[in-house]
Amino acid sequence: MWNGLPNTTGPPANSSPVAADGSFRIDNVRNSEYLIAVNGIPSGLYLKRAVIGGQDMLAAPFLFSANAGGNLEVVLGTNPARLQGRVVEAQGRPAVAAQVVLVPVQRLRNDRYKATSTDLNGSFTISGIAPGEYRLFSWDAIEPFSYFDPDFIKVYESQAQLIHLDEGSAPTADFKIMPLVD
């Protein structure tokens, strides 16, 4: 867990490796607001649930207080969704090497952003997607990671394709590339 700010009130937070029984510890966590992130999730799994004291930590930032304490339950899902499709240019030709980005409607969850490029046929596949509501975007060329910028995405949101993904679903999405706005 990290809120993007250095821990200036004591030693840095650190976590123990996950034990065989699935338990772990995070020590030296300062009182602050956090978003949960789980690193090193194996392919074919996704972060399904994270709850502490009955509070869903995936839906909103979590205010941690050392006085509160408690157990954090993290559940990994074993049946992620997959999305495949094809992107074409305005003239109907395959959009080669276009960037395809899946952005969660709940943009707070940076771990749910997925990006890939199209192949020579304009085809793409995105795997390991957590179930949920997403918008699908595609551009010829954009600055790396600019899709994390809410102001950038807002310009293209009306052109995006809304996609609902259930656990284990594998829909197909075909659409036209989005022209860049100056």
The predicted-structure confidence for 7-66, as pLDDT tens digits, reads as follows: 444 555 666 777 888 787 777 778 888 878 788 888 889 999 988 878 888 888 888 777
pLDDT of residue 131: 96
Rounded distance between C-alpha atoms, residue 113 and residue 52, angstroms? 24
DSSP β-bridge partners for residue 64: 32
Q: Please report, rounded to a whole number, the percentage of residues in the chain having pLDDT higher than 70.
A: 90
Kindly state whether residue 23 falls inside one of the protein's structural domains. yes
Same domain, 89 and 156: yes
Give yes or no: residues 70 and 156 share one domain. no
Number of domain units in the chain: 2
- pLDDT tens column, 117-137: 999 999 999 999 999 999 999
Please give the residue range of the domain that contains residue 25. 14-77
Between the CA of residue 27 and those of 10, 16, 38, 54, 169, what are the distances in Å?
A: 11, 8, 16, 21, 38
Determine, yes or no, domain membership for 42: yes
Residue 9 lies in a domain: no
Do 86 and 170 lie in one domain? The reply is yes
Q: Regarding predicted confidence, which is higher, 176 or 36?
A: 176
Assess whether 93 and 70 both reside in one domain.
Answer: no
115 in the same domain as 49: no
127/54 same-domain check: no
Residue 101 and residue 132 in one domain: yes
CA distance 15 to 154: 37
Same domain, 30 and 97: no
pLDDT at 3 over 50: no
Residue predicted with more confidence, 72 or 154 = 154
| Single residue among 31, 53, 77 that ends a domain in this structure | 77
User: What's residue 53's pLDDT?
Assistant: 78
Q: How far apart are CA 2 and CA 37, in angstroms?
A: 8
